[in-house]
Structure 1
Amino acid sequence: MTWTKKHTQLNDIFSDLVPNKEGITKYVRDAGLKPQFIDTSGNAMDVWSNVISEAEKNSKVDNLVRSMLTTYPDNSFLKSALNSGEIDFSLSPDIDETSFWEEVSDDTLEVLTMEQSSLLPVNFLAKGVLKSKSVGKVEVKIGSSNYSVGTGFLFKISGIDDVFFITNYHVIHNREDIERTRIIFDFELDINGDSLPSRSFKIDPNGPWYCSEIKEYDATIFKLIDQDSTLAEFGWIDLKEIEITKNDFVNIIQHPKGEMKKISLYHNIVTHKDERVVQYLTDTQRGSSGSPVFNSDWEVVALHHSGGGSRPGEPALPSGIKSRNEGIFINNIIQFFTENHQNI
């Protein structure tokens, strides 16, 4: 069969929703496929790839999607898979292609499971809410009705007066996409569970445009048009050089799959840090690319850019915890931005 973009994205979605191989057989049977014809070697993503190939061969891809919808009826990407040729969202780069993945050590697992208290002062929540105001959804229109989605945030750096917005290079880097892009704030629920009135802003096509490719810092930085002088209501996050070490905890504010704003809180733990990247265990999904990764003081330590399931041979993790998440160390982003902004 010819493997298309739709197959790739279905593979990503299925793997996010059902990351354990043991849970896949149910959907195979519900779709009218025969489990004995599916190669179940490798990890869950590999198995899902084999399932999709078998479904395509038997013209039952839609059946497979419908079987998933019985469990996840509100998933927007599953629903769109039945109505359009492609499901569009920003695909994270493969960690294996951009950097070395450091496996999770035994001492990290000990901290994660029992050794470290997760008690925090109650103002931790209030500070997080304030920071979340500056996080927005990135939406790039693709074709007539599809959208590619990501996350980003408003920021300032000491010594530079203007407020900028940052997301991943792999979310947007082509100036030709500026007119088709909007940045949406307050796309979230209020304390009563009702939708807030969201507001969107366009990218300033005449403003600064700083891009660092995926294998460097995977970042795109620009300014937004503040036509009605309302952007200040969303504040900004002050970026400063920071220290982060293995076994520190991190938190991520994100728009997973382009959905309403969510937060991934403890226990998210740093498994590795080097000069370029920070790697951590947490729960992210497609659309989380470009999210700010915070420490326990709500200081940004990284720009999230990639995540995925564990690989064969990696240590077993507690149920529900994903491995292989990575962000670009924020000190690199600050240096990249400062050097480029000083040169204009």
Structure 2
Amino acid sequence: MTASKLESIEQQALARYRHLEKQRQAHPAADPEEMDKMLVRSSVINAQDTLSIERIINKNDLLPIAYLETGTKAGRAVCRTTLRNQNGQIQGHGTGFLVSPTLLLTNNHVLDIREAALYAAAEFNYENDENFAPREISSFGFEPDKLFITDEALDFTLVAIQPVAKNGKKISDFGYLPLLSQKGKVLEGEFVSIIQHPKGGPKAVTVRENEVRFLAPDFIHYVSDTEAGSSGSPVFNDQWVVVALHHAAISDPDDSTEWIANEGIRISSILNFLVEWNSANPHPLLAPLLQGVPDLASSVVPMEMGQLGEEWYSGVSGYDPAFLGEGFNVPLPELMAEVAQDRAPSKDGKPVLDYTHFSIAMSKKRRLAFYTAVNINGSELVDVKRGNDKWYFDPRLDKAFQSGPELYEKNDLDRGHLTRRQDPNWGVDAIRANEHTFHFTNCAPQHKNFNQKTWLGLEDYILKNAETHDLKVTVFTGPVFQENDPIYRDEFQIPAEFWKIAVMKKDGNSLSASAYLQTQRDMIGNLEFAYGEYQTYQVPIIQIEALAHLDFGELKAHDALAGKGTGIAIKQMEDIRL
């Protein structure tokens, strides 16, 4: 690589960095898609890393001790790339890393042509052990005739590597770093780590205080310590997932001896390039690398269409009937015969829609939920900020069975969350759960005064008790569908009543279930003017079953009002009977 080429790369990186700085100064407000990014970020976190959400949201610097061990394992796949001419003379060094059992990733400006790869070597274990003694180096040659893909704009090269080193070591002994295609694996303000061979020396790592400053469509800018020879290094997030390929340092234009940032190429952009390349030139060595990588351009539905792509729902947990513990199974309710045919199945035939920690059964006729069911873990609740209130259609369900903006615009009707926004926001999936509550499947038309007053007080009471006492709680919620519900805008019937059932363990050895009913009938007579009193009642579960046409099975045997003919008015939370 010539000095002029490296200088050009650094100048382009500086130009991008300055452009992003100006954009930030001109538009300091939060990114309107920040919650979308947070949703993806949470999806790539290991469920056992209970500190991760605090690091992302609250900037907690605590790390699990396994972070160090995991980083050491990740570092095995990183090597020094030694560049030689055809006479065997060393021309320079870079860094590279294995991304599949047979392929290595580095920069285009490290290996720009096939001939350069023919004379280069990948040197693994060029590092010191815990006693600062050199380890045995394993040197592998490249096989560019098998596969060599490079792109100057994204400054990457993907090249095949020999399976056996000169000392007999197998390339499989060093593992590889799997690449994830989705964007959002790191967020601005988080920190990254870089495993590298600075100045061609022994392997080193930068950890913490390496803040991500800017994210651009194809590039990421971060403050970190790197040196010549670090080109081609993997850039990791806190979970040691590769987020970028390091390629350039950005010098201060006013002082060439000072560096203001570094730039890497986003892994998602490199994988998108490879997907397109492979579609035109299918290659068997790319299959392990691209396995499971979607064609993002075709699979993601633009946000402005009010719908997320189906990949946003992969691996969601849904409602867990066994959530309260062994021997305390609480299954989903069954639809009674008179409404069973009105269930709106998903496009793949499933009877309910699963989201993060909650599930929903939909009515075709009413285009609203029969019920929602959520698990609340009071010991792991996360305070996720509300964000920009984007609401989405669910692509897994025919849009004809969902009520969208045409119902809620220009009136006093709230998009009333059925599964409350905060309820499923616990554990490492809290951010995804928060976003999942903003689906039209999870809301119902509720007058603003109904949604924000007494009903909210009841929901607060349930959630605060779960949090204060580290309780696990299961909550079912839904509207009451009646034939005489008022018709609005010649299309929608507005439910006049809503119900809720909360289930928890009582004294650790028995179930306690309590049911609630509230009306908004006085409010929706005139949507331009609210009047009249409204109250919440605790009622027997059998009354909810009759009104909602649902069968809760054995749950009614654990009802505090079982056998009572009527309900009791809840004027203060102390009136609730558990």
TM over 0.5: yes
Aligned residue type for 1:182: A
- CA shift at 1:94, angstroms? 3.5
Match of 1:121 in 2: 64
Is 1:185 paired with 2:124? Answer: yes
Match of 1:232 in 2: 172
Match of 1:217 in 2: 154
Gaps of 5+ in 2: 29-57, 283-578
Match of 1:284 in 2: 226
Secondary structure of 1:126's aligned partner: helix
Which of the numbers 71, 85, 93 marks the counterpart of 1:149? Answer: 93
> Which structure is richer in relative contact order (CA contacts within 8 A, separation 6 or more)?
1
Aligned residue type for 1:206: D
Match of 2:75 in 1: 132
Provide the alpha-carbon RMSD of the alignment.
Answer: 2.8
Match of 1:176 in 2: 115
Which of the numbers 10, 31, 40 marks the counterpart of 1:95? Answer: 10
Tell me, in whole angstroms, the C-alpha distance in 1 between the residues paired with 2:197 and 2:172: 21
Aligned residue type for 1:309: S
Q: Deviations over 1:38-88 (max 9, x none)?
A: xxxxxxxxxxxxxxxxxxxxxxxxxxxxxxxxxxxxxxxxxxxxxxxxxxx
Is 1:258 paired with 2:220? Answer: no
Is 1:341 paired with 2:278? Answer: yes
Match of 1:45 in 2: none
Given that 2:102 and 2:162 are in contact with CA atoms closer than 8 Å, whether structure 1 keeps it comes out as no
Q: Deviations over 1:275-320 (max 9, x none)?
A: 110000000001100100000111111100000333339xxxxxxx
Deviates more, 1:224-233 or 1:183-192: 224-233
Given that 2:107 and 2:231 are in contact with CA atoms closer than 8 Å, whether structure 1 keeps it comes out as yes
- CA shift at 1:92, angstroms? 6.6
Is 1:195 paired with 2:110? Answer: no
Given that 1:140 and 1:177 are in contact with CA atoms closer than 8 Å, whether structure 2 keeps it comes out as yes
Is 1:300 paired with 2:242? Answer: yes
- CA shift at 1:219, angstroms? 0.4
- CA shift at 1:145, angstroms? 3.6
Q: Identity rate of aligned residues, in percent?
A: 30
Tell me, in whole angstroms, the C-alpha distance in 2 between the residues paired with 1:251 and 1:300: 9
Tell me, in whole angstroms, the C-alpha distance in 2 between the residues paired with 1:179 and 1:100: 33
The 1:186–1:229 alpha-carbon spacing in structure 2 relative to 1, beyond 3 Å, is: closer
Aligned residue type for 2:9: D
Tell me, in whole angstroms, the C-alpha distance in 2 between the residues paired with 1:92 and 1:128: 32
- CA shift at 1:100, angstroms? 1.2
Match of 2:104 in 1: 165
Tell me, in whole angstroms, the C-alpha distance in 1 between the residues paired with 2:88 and 2:98: 28
Q: Deviations over 1:121-165 (max 9, x none)?
A: 110000000000000111111466432110010013xxxxx5310
The 1:153–1:144 alpha-carbon spacing in structure 2 relative to 1, beyond 3 Å, is: closer
Match of 2:216 in 1: 274
- CA shift at 1:97, angstroms? 2.2
Aligned residue type for 1:221: L
Aligned residue type for 2:222: Y
Tell me, in whole angstroms, the C-alpha distance in 2 between the residues paired with 1:335 and 1:127: 27
Tell me, in whole angstroms, the C-alpha distance in 2 between the residues paired with 1:332 and 1:92: 23
Secondary structure of 1:237's aligned partner: coil
Tell me, in whole angstroms, the C-alpha distance in 1 between the residues paired with 2:142 and 2:274: 17
Given that 2:250 and 2:263 are in contact with CA atoms closer than 8 Å, whether structure 1 keeps it comes out as no
Secondary structure of 1:127's aligned partner: helix
Gaps of 5+ in 1: 10-89, 108-114, 157-161, 314-320
- CA shift at 1:248, angstroms? 1.2
| Structure with larger Rg | 2
Tell me, in whole angstroms, the C-alpha distance in 2 between the residues paired with 1:94 and 1:217: 10
TM-score using structure 2 length: 0.39
